[in-house]
């Protein structure tokens, strides 16, 4: 069998989304609706894949350049119907010296993100095995309202009639047209040139090619979708949410079958590009976005969002938001930790409660346990950063870097005014403002000497509860 040509129709406006973003660019599971359809179509290894664009074409074309530069686009300037769109795609290919006449042509729409490669493979195989001029992917719906209905005579399909053009009797038919088809290229080419727009919508209906083919004695078959979700089209935000939930369940089942434990799959959202090892545990309300990778034995959540990040084996990440971050094996992060791009937590390192880090590398076994901001820093191994420390990286105009060596002990509540270097094994006193480099092995003290003004409260706050408490204490001392 020759590799098929795939045409994806995506010129429509998607008015019901009520969005400035073209409908097919809305996302589920971290990929555009159109991106999901292209991914499914790619399993057919098409010789050519043409996307028909129109409404919002500049955005759609820019998106395709980014995610699938191998596909080509053709503009349908006037939305004259699905048949017109397919005709334009075939003419475009001809103009490039590609004849569709010798290949199967698969027609899809850009708004069916739940379509799977296996549904398409099955469609194409049935089509080729059945030696049909057209094979329509169908489904039986309890409520078929709005869809084209499949007219059959015995096993064969004789036509498709649109809801708006159907007789009351035809509207009773529950077998609907998914809008996905495999065609014999030559038969499709002939049929689309014979289309007219004598119908209730004044459009060239692709569905009319079925009647044209069968009238000429061609064989058209209809095969049921393996999973009716596969053909679900997105028209509005409610359907977008439904499809997202179905996709979430599919992704979660796949990972659970691969050995991932999920306490609450319904609140666990994993993008299509994530990679999880066996024996990962995901606690409720975990969101893994982009190409996030989690190694074996790691425990993520509850309440954690990881974006395009890596987590090493056996790490624990609780109540955390992290983007473009690497968390080493055996490290612990959270709860309530904010890790911004460029943060690397070394093996067995720790970023604890209420810690924010940005563009900073924390060496193996080093710890930032509590209430700190670490920005633009390189921290060595085995170092401890005391509670409430701030890496003061911003002078109001520029950002500066701080280097902290190995086995350093930064005291609690330090301000480390960048740029500075703290040498290996150095200590800094609690409450210090460190403005100069600290040589290896030194103790840096950067704070005012304490001064006690004796009996100040007794004199200046006489009669207060504090003064009375002090008097009692001083009496018993005597």
Question: What is the closest distance, in whole angstroms, from the C-beta atom of residue 181 to ligand UD1 in the complex?
Answer: 10
- Report the residue number, 14 or 386, with the smaller CB distance to ligand UD1: 14
CA atoms within 13 A on the CB side of 386: 15
- Report the residue number, 17 or 270, with the smaller CB distance to ligand UD1: 17
Residue 415 CA to residue 437 CA, distance in Å, equals 13
Residue 403 CA to residue 277 CA, distance in Å, equals 34
Choosing from 319, 370, 400, 401, which is the catalytic residue?
A: 370
Inter-axis angle of helices 33-42 and 117-129, nearest 10: 50
For ligand UD1, which stretch binds (CB under 6 A), given 173-181, 255-263, 316-324, 345-353? Answer: 173-181
- Report the residue number, 178 or 428, with the smaller CB distance to ligand UD1: 178
Of 134, 157, 160, 416, the one binding ligand UD1 by CB under 6 A:
160
Residues 124-153 that bind ligand UD1 (CB under 6 A): 147-148
Give Cα separations from 167 to 139, 176, 178, 290, 453 (angstroms). Answer: 20, 15, 20, 48, 99
Question: What is the closest distance, in whole angstroms, from the C-beta atom of residue 51 to ligand UD1 in the complex?
Answer: 9
**Residue number, nearest CB to ligand UD1:** 148
* HEC profile of 248-308: HHHHHHHHHHCCCEECCHHHCEECCCCEECCCCEECCCEEEECCCEECCCCEECCCEEEEC
Question: What is the closest distance, in whole angstroms, from the C-beta atom of residue 389 to ligand UD1 in the complex?
Answer: 55
- Site map (CB under 6 A) of ligand UD1, residues 29-68, x = contact: -----------------------x----------------
- Report the residue number, 23 or 367, with the smaller CB distance to ligand UD1: 23
> In sequence order, what E strands does 132-225 have?
134-140, 149-153, 156-161, 175-184, 220-224
Question: What is the closest distance, in whole angstroms, from the C-beta atom of residue 11 to ligand UD1 in the complex?
Answer: 3
Inter-axis angle of helices 33-42 and 57-67, nearest 10: 50
- Report the residue number, 57 or 367, with the smaller CB distance to ligand UD1: 57
Residue 370 appears among annotated catalytic residues:
yes
Q: What is the DSSP string of 200-218?
A: TT-S--TTHHHHHHHHTT-
Question: What is the closest distance, in whole angstroms, from the C-beta atom of residue 141 to ligand UD1 in the complex?
Answer: 10
Task: Report if residue 12 touches ligand UD1, rule: CB under 6 A.
Answer: yes
Residues 174-233 that bind ligand UD1 (CB under 6 A): 176-179, 205-207, 233
Give Cα separations from 22 to 33, 214, 289 (angstroms). Answer: 10, 36, 22
Residues 372-411 that bind ligand UD1 (CB under 6 A): none
Question: What is the closest distance, in whole angstroms, from the C-beta atom of residue 179 to ligand UD1 in the complex?
Answer: 3
Question: What is the closest distance, in whole angstroms, from the C-beta atom of residue 27 to ligand UD1 in the complex?
Answer: 17
- Site map (CB under 6 A) of ligand UD1, residues 233-272, x = contact: x---------------------------------------
For ligand UD1, which stretch binds (CB under 6 A), given 76-84, 126-134, 246-254, 303-311? Answer: 76-84
Strand order in the sheet with 281-282: 261-262, 281-282, 299-300, 316-317, 332-333, 350-353, 367-370, 384-385, 409-410, 427-428, 443-444
- Report the residue number, 75 or 102, with the smaller CB distance to ligand UD1: 75
Residue 318 CA to residue 303 CA, distance in Å, equals 7
The answer to whether the CB of 6 falls within 8 A of the CB of 39 is no
Task: Report if residue 85 touches ligand UD1, rule: CB under 6 A.
Answer: yes
Of 5, 6, 7, 11, the one binding ligand UD1 by CB under 6 A:
11
Residues that bind ligand UD1 (CB under 6 A): 9-12, 52, 76, 79-82, 84-85, 109-111, 147-148, 160, 162, 176-179, 205-207, 233
Active site residues: 370
């Amino acid at each position: 069998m020759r590799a098929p040509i795939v045409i994806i129709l995506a010129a429509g406006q998607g008015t019901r989304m009520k969005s400035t973003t073209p409908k097919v660019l809305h996302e589920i599971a971290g990929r555009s609706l159109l991106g999901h359809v292209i991914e499914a179509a790619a399993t057919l290894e098409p010789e050519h894949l043409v996307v028909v664009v129109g409404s919002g074409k500049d955005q759609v074309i820019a998106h395709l350049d980014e995610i699938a530069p191998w596909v080509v686009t053709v503009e349908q300037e006037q939305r004259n119907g699905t048949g017109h769109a397919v005709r334009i795609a075939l003419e475009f290919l001809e103009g490039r010296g590609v004849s569709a006449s010798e290949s199967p042509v698969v027609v899809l729409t850009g708004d069916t993100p739940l379509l799977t490669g296996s549904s398409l493979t099955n469609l194409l195989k049935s089509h080729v095995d059945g030696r049909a001029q057209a094979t329509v992917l169908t489904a039986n719906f309890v409520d078929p309202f709005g869809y084209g209905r499949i007219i059959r005579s015995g096993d064969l399909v004789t036509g498709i009639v649109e809801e708006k053009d159907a007789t009351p009797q035809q509207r009773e038919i529950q077998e609907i047209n998914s809008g996905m088809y495999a065609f014999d290229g030559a038969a499709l080419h002939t049929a689309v040139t014979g289309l007219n727009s004598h119908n209730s919508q004044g459009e060239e209906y692709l569905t009319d090619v079925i009647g044209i083919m069968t009238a000429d004695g061609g064989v058209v078959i209809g095969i049921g979708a393996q999973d009716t979700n596969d053909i679900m089209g997105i028209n509005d935000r409610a359907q977008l949410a439904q499809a997202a939930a179905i996709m979430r369940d599919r992704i979660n089942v796949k990972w659970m079958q691969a050995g991932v434990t999920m306490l609450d799959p319904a609140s666990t959202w994993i993008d299509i590009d994530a990679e999880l090892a066996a024996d990962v545990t995901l606690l409720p309300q975990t969101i893994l976005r982009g190409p996030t990778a989690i190694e074996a034995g790691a425990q993520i959540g509850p309440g954690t969002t990881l974006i395009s990040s890596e987590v090493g084996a056996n790490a624990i990440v609780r109540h955390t938001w992290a983007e473009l971050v690497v968390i080493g094996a055996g490290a612990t992060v959270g709860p309530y930790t904010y890790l911004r791009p460029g943060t690397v937590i070394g093996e067995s390192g720790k970023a604890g409660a209420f810690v924010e880090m940005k563009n900073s590398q924390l060496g193996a076994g080093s710890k930032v346990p509590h209430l700190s901001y670490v920005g633009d820093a390189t921290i060595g191994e085995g170092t401890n950063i005391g509670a409430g420390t701030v890496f003061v990286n911003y002078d109001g105009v520029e950002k500066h870097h701080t280097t902290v060596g190995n086995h350093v002990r930064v005291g609690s509540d330090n301000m480390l005014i960048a740029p500075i270097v703290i040498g290996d094994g150095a200590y800094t006193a609690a409450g210090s403002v460190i403005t100069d480099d600290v040589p290896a092995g030194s103790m840096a003290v950067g704070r005012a000497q304490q001064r006690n003004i004796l009996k100040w409260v007794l004199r200046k706050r006489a009669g207060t509860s504090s003064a009375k408490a002090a008097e009692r204490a001083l009496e018993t001392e005597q």
